[in-house]
A and B are shown apart, each in its own frame.
Chain A
């Protein structure tokens, strides 16, 4: 899925980090869509956003500037994975290009991880493009490990890594049923 960010460190004090609110959809969703779809050749339909935001609005965090403009956003979900561990999934992450390298994405992802931890997540997973060094670094600094390489995962033919972060002991032993088709289980873009 889409992860547009860099692994910066310094934080900008004037930003506010807030949770998404479905009641403010009119104002927020267009901005989120614009930010995420900017780098996508094929945009997600509004259903995809609502799929996440309506069910897991508490796992979506935004960085807003003083004028309430959207600077960065992270969108996630959390549910049992194939009858096994409670798996969080970071679906989308983006920061405005002009604000990259300032640690905004790291902060957003950290907030999401903490929120998922509070909701009893066993693990968190996501996919990133192999060539997206900045995004890989960001997640790996936080503790994610690469678990699989996914050949031609994206529609543009690019290969991805699956990154996984365990949050609890014994997660590996929580058996999921094995899906032999191993089809497109998560979002691909």
Chain B
């Protein structure tokens, strides 16, 4: 409480109003409508502590100082930021001052935790607590959720030193007390909830997450039974279950309902406290959720058992905020989602993505796996995302860096260095420092060492919330730019060591091509990241309708760079294929073949993206030209400024070259001089759509091994390739409508179509795929 101020070197104050509002209670003013209370509610006036800092009244000094200031004058040093000013509180303002009470308002609600509850009431309290727990998972603070329960509050404060201390009746020493429903069954349930929260919290804070936006980790100075083992709490739950079964006075159906809730809590705790829970636990949770769900109506709510006023006693600077209310059905759905996502995350352990060299071809699955996981709907909550991260980065048997480095080498081998002499295991066995094989191994190792952190950051970023994926990718792409520069240097060293002859391929370049395998790999990653940044921009509605022509066009140019680059990579893979044939080694031949199949699958997918983004880019350009897309007046902006803003994430990249403003402009704003022009444009769009459809259809026929979708087949097929095909069809329909319009209205000359054609940009949930914004075009009758 700032009513008495400790001597502080950083005292910032604002004159006039703050001074007049600062009313210090020990000045013995007449009774006011507000009274001061300490956080624990013990006394109106803080007594000087016996030891520790000394306090003294600064009212006079403060008033004298504030008189010297003009009204509104702000005295602050350069370190007083906006953030701090937002954190400032106004004393005696009931919305800001946590100790400020309305006239007659009590500090706490008067709820007797010793009152007997009907079994139906215990059921309702349990269900309500589950709702709060799920709201917490969603990102709301504990103070406005779980800790609003009077029972849980009692359990946790004062901090229980022994398990027996964690009860609702501190004075009569716990379990020796009455064997009542509340003290046994509700207590066990509440302890189970708190322990679940403890494990969830531990998991989340040990991985990467964003405080507040993902999750509020504040525990308000409450230890969530973290001094006790999950097994101890499980035992308490078991004892409660046992006690419950022995009751004869409670109606059997109610006994069943209560036991089901204890069982659900038991299984949840088992699942949440385990690093790798048995999937059977999730089945049990699902079946128990269904049982509990069917008996929610049995409960008789006890509203008084929850209070926002508890927040006053929690370590927090703000006055009580409303308790977050979510319905039971919503809570069950969230719990089901969490379990499904945990289970989904756990599938990663089924894919052998690291340890076995024979299965190196499966490694790339990790990237596809993470995208599939991040694309689950509804989007996974922070706990399952942290759980997945823990499975990747904190595997007990290995340090995260080691795994990432091996993964990176495997990835490299798959994309650019399949059966390449550079990765010959024999190189690592040569110990003579001057031997070029030793030096090759050393150079490859140095690249792996250099790249591991960036590579790991890429995977981490894919485990964040969707908005953050896009934002972090904008930084990751820059780190891959620097990595590419370093990789080029290492590649030059490797060329000098291998004396490998360049390849001449006139389809790709007039110049002889050197392999540059490490920088090639890095560049491919970088180009993909660029595509993702733009694609996530479509998903997140970052671009306004009149920008879509330009942004699809930009996507087209980025992916075309990647397709060309993949062609270059395949040239060198083919050389390795020849070497493998010469060796007559079946494994080697098959390995290169697999890399080549993947290479051509990537090209096919790229081509699908290329043609569909070409089609959409041209389609939006036509719609812009026909004034069918709203064009904001933008008096303070110009095309150059907007182009620069859009290209900002990519301006720091040396390659690929970014399409220049003039070209970008030309692509966004076509001129339709006459009907022929119009017709020809529509024809080109239609051709691009057909080509895109062809590519995606062919991609769909490939094996999940070819496209590296093992373990995520459904997400790959249904979630991506089929959706792309649907988007192609929808684009085709849009073009067909425009063709009809053209035939009907623009035969001999162009006419104003704004009243004849309707264009609707679908919301994200209405699209076949979030990344393809296909306009809905209708003829106005």
Contact = CB atoms under 8 A, between A and B. Distances in A.
A188 interface: yes
B712 to A, nearest CB: 24
Contact of B636 (A46, A48, A113, A151): A113
5 contacts: A22-B73, A46-B14, A47-B12, A144-B637, A151-B466
B465 A151 contact: yes
B598 to A, nearest CB: 33
B83 interface: yes
B318 interface: yes
A100 interface: no
B26 to A, nearest CB: 24
B545 to A, nearest CB: 10
Contacts of A178: 475
A144 to B, nearest CB: 8
Nearest to B90: A45
Contact of A43 (B70, B96, B646, B647): B96
A163 to B, nearest CB: 10
Nearest to A146: B542
B636 A54 contact: no
B676 to A, nearest CB: 35
Given A47-B14, A153-B213, A173 B651 contact: yes
Interface string A98-113: 0000000000001001
Contact of B644 (A22, A26, A169, A187): A169
B72 A145 contact: no
A149 B542 contact: yes
Interface stretch (B121-129, B366-374, B627-635): B627-635
A146 B543 contact: yes
Ordered nearest first, which 4 A-B pairs have the shortest CB separation?
A143-B637, A143-B634, A47-B88, A166-B641
B526 interface: no
A139 to B, nearest CB: 10
Nearest to B138: A157
Given A151-B465, A188-B86, A166 B74 contact: no
A172 interface: yes
Contacts of A66: none
B290 interface: no
B642 interface: yes
Interface in B132-167: 138-140
A152 B633 contact: no
Contact of A146 (B318, B544, B632, B651): B544
Given A77-B82, A143-B635, A149 B540 contact: yes
A156 B544 CA distance: 26
Contacts of A187: 82, 86
A145 B647 contact: no
A7 to B, nearest CB: 10
A25 B15 CA distance: 12
A148 B651 contact: no
A175 B96 CA distance: 38
Contacts of B475: 178
B644 A171 contact: yes
Interface in A23-51: 23, 25-26, 29, 41-48, 50-51
Given A47-B85, A53-B72, A169-B644, A141 B212 contact: no
A45 B96 contact: yes
A109 to B, nearest CB: 9
A167 interface: yes
Contacts of A147: 542, 645, 648
A109 B544 CA distance: 20
B574 interface: no
A142 interface: yes
Contact of A165 (B540, B633, B636, B646): B636
Nearest to A54: B74
B82 A186 contact: yes
Interface in B75-127: 76, 82-83, 85-86, 88-90, 93, 95-96
A13 interface: no
Contact of A145 (B12, B86, B646): B646
B540 A29 contact: no
B467 interface: yes
Contact of A45 (B85, B138, B651): B85
A48 B543 contact: no
Interface string A127-159: 000100000000011111111111111000101
Given A47-B85, A51-B74, A51-B82, A166 B645 contact: yes
A29 B447 CA distance: 60
Contact of A151 (B12, B76, B468): B468
A48 B85 contact: yes
A183 B81 CA distance: 13
Contacts of A152: 139, 212-214
Contacts of B70: 22-23
Given A143-B632, A172-B647, A172-B651, A46 B18 contact: yes
B5 interface: no
B470 interface: yes
